[in-house]
Structure formats: C-alpha cells, structure tokens
Amino acid sequence: MFFSQRILGGLVDEGKIRLDNNILTIPGTNKPSFELEPAFRFIRTADNGPDPHRLVGQIKYEKALKAMNAEIYLDSIIYQETAYEVEPGFIGEQQELMDSLSDTDILARFLLENLI
C-alpha cells in the first residue's frame, strides 16, 4: 500500500497514526502495523511530453530507483534524460503479513522488487 508523505504528515499531526522509526501503527482495536519503505509515485513527465520508460502511474521503491541510477531530488526524478514529477511517500507492508512469510517467500519478494 502506498502512503504519500503529505498525507502521513497530516495524519500524524492529527494523532490518527503513530510512526516509530519505519513502523506505522493505526490505533484501534486490532492496531494494524505497516513496515514502511521510501517510495515514489510517478505523476507525469515534467514537460507533459511522452513517457518513453512507461513510469507514469507506477510506484517504485527508492532503492530500486537508485539501482536504476535515477537521480532523485525532492518531488522530481530524472531517469535516462527524462524528468518526472513524482509524489514522495512510502510503501507499507502489513507487519503481520511479513511475519507470516517464509524465508524463501521473503527472498523471492526481494528479488522481484529489486530486479524488475
């Protein structure tokens, strides 16, 4: 699940969520928790031109973008000569889900997220 940085900040200020390091907790009866990883949602190319890399509409982990040698600056990313407007945020994986995965499943997810 993608959480934009702007929305998270507002929810923290209102006391609707708690953030401890990279763990987001939603207060309530079952208190779901999410492990957060920095990510970006691609909104459009900076010049509203064509998207040669088909990134618009996608959400990418920050670590995957760095592995692609993309240049990240605030709400902009340059990838292979194309500038994009992006929305900074986090991808959250529900912690209970991650705790239930086997080591093989975790390795498979890591490989898919970092090699594709």
Q: Average of pLDDT values for 74-97?
A: 88
Considering Cα of 54, then 56, then 61, then 63, what sign does the dihedral take? positive
Q: Given this model, what pLDDT does residue 18 score?
A: 83
Q: Average of pLDDT values for 59-80?
A: 95
- When pLDDT is cut at 50, 70 and 90, the band that residue 116 belongs to is very low
Chain-wide mean pLDDT for the chain?
83
Q: Given this model, what pLDDT does residue 38 score?
A: 94
Domain boundaries, the chain: 2-115
What residues pair up with 77 in beta bridges, in sequence order? 72, 84
SS (H, E, C) 52-75: CCCCCCCEEEHHHHHHCCCEEECC
Residue 9 pLDDT > 70: yes
Are the beta carbons of 88 and 5 closer than 8 angstroms?
yes
- Radius of gyration, alpha carbons of the chain: 16
Q: Look up the pTM and report it.
A: 0.73
